[in-house]
Amino acid sequence: MSAPFAARAQPLRVYSEFAQIDAGGRVTAPAEPREILSPAIVRNGFTSFQVVVDVPQGTPYQLYIAQNPENAVEVTLYRETGDRLERVSQPVSGNATQIFWMDVWTARDAPVQRIKVEPQLHVNNDWVIYPMEARVMEATAESRGAGPGTEMEAPALMRQYLCSRGLSIDSGVAQGLTITGLRSRNGFQDLTLTRLVPKATLQEVFGSCTAFPTDPEWYLRIRDYLFRLR
C-alpha cells in the first residue's frame, strides 16, 4: 500500500445495507459492523451493499465491479448524495471519499453456487481489491409490481407484518432512488419469502414485538434465516 494511505483506513470497504455511514465514510453504527466476505444473495431479487471509497481529497481513482463467472449477476452502482442515489456507469471515477451502493440482481434461474463479485479500486497506479465471494441461495423471491405506498425499511415492515394486521405482503412497493427506497424495496422482497415458513416460527426468530434493538444490523439475522429457506 502506498504512503498516502499508510495512516488511513483501508481505502475500499464493503458494508451491509443497514450499516450507518457518515459522509466521511466512517461507520457510526453498529460499533462492530458485519464483515462482508461471503454474503448470501437471493434469486429473483436484489441484494444491496454499501461500498466506501476512502481516499484523500484530490486523489483520482476508478472503481470497478468484477465478476467470476462473468455476468453471473446484474450489478448496478449508485453514488450516494445525502439520502438520494444517482445511478453511475462503470468504471466510476472520483477524487474524494465517496459512498456507493452496489445493487446486485440475481436471476430466478441462476445456479446455486459461489460467485465472485469483487469491488476493485484503481488508485495511485495500484489496485485495491475487496475479496467478496457471494453465495447464490436456493431461496427465490417473488416478483413485485410497482405501486404507491409509504417507504418503510425492512425491520419496520417485518414488525408490522408480524405484530399487527395492517400490512399485506401482496401490495406493490414504491420505487424511489433513495436509500430508504432501496431498503424498503428489499424489505418488501423479504416479505415474499415469509410464505415459506409458518408465521409463528418467524415470530420466534424475530423476537419481541416491543423490543427495539439499537444495532441497525440486527435485522440481518432475519434475512439470513429467510435466505436459507427453500
pLDDT at residue 168 greater than cutoff 90 = no
> Do 120 and 25 share a structural domain?
yes
- Containing structural domain, residue 179: 141-227
pLDDT tens, position by position, 95-112: 999 999 999 999 999 999
Claim to verify: residue 9 and residue 113 sit in the same structural domain? yes
Is the domain of 135 the same as that of 145?
A: no
User: Do residues 131 and 40 share a domain?
Assistant: yes
How far is 203 from 200, CA to CA, in rounded Å?
5
SS3 3: helix
Amino acid identity of 114? R
Residues 208 and 113 in one domain: no
155 and 128 co-located in one domain = no
Q: Are residues 57 and 153 in the same domain?
A: no
* CA atoms of 67 and 65, how far apart (whole Å): 7
Secondary structure (3-state) at 100: strand
Could you report the per-residue pLDDT of 129-144, keeping only the tens digit for each?
999 999 999 999 998 6
| Same domain as 115, residue 83 | yes
**Bridge pairing between strands 40-43 and 133-140:** parallel
Whether the predicted pLDDT of 126 surpasses 70: yes
Q: Of 139, 160, 191, which residue sits at a domain end?
A: 139
In the prediction, which pLDDT does 166 show? 61
Amino acid 5: pLDDT: 40
Q: Are strands 45-53 and 98-106 parallel, antiparallel or unpaired?
A: antiparallel
Residue-wise pLDDT for 175-188, tens only, equals: 568 999 999 999 99
Mean of pLDDT over the chain: 90
In this structure, are 131 and 147 located in the same domain? no
Instruction: Look at residue 193 in the predicted model and tell me its pLDDT.
Output: 95
Confidence check: pLDDT of 17 > 70: yes
36 and 118 in a single domain? The answer is: yes
Using the 3D structure, point to which of 86, 121, 139 is the last residue of a domain: 139
CA 53 to chain centre: 16
Residue 24 and residue 122 in one domain:
yes
Distance of alpha carbon 92 from the chain centroid: 19
Please tell me the predicted confidence (pLDDT) of residue 171: 55
Q: What is the pLDDT of residues 190-227, one digit of tens each?
A: 999 999 999 999 999 999 999 889 999 999 999 999 99
Does pLDDT of 114 surpass 50? yes
What confidence tier does 66 reach under pLDDT thresholds 50, 70, 90? very high
- Counting the structural domains of the chain, the total is 2
Domain boundary among 114, 139, 164: 139
Can you read off the three cell numbers belonging to residue 182? 432501496
Whole-number pLDDT of residue 4: 39
Question: Can you give the CATH number for the domain in which 33 is found?
Answer: 2.60.40.10
Same domain, 170 and 127: no
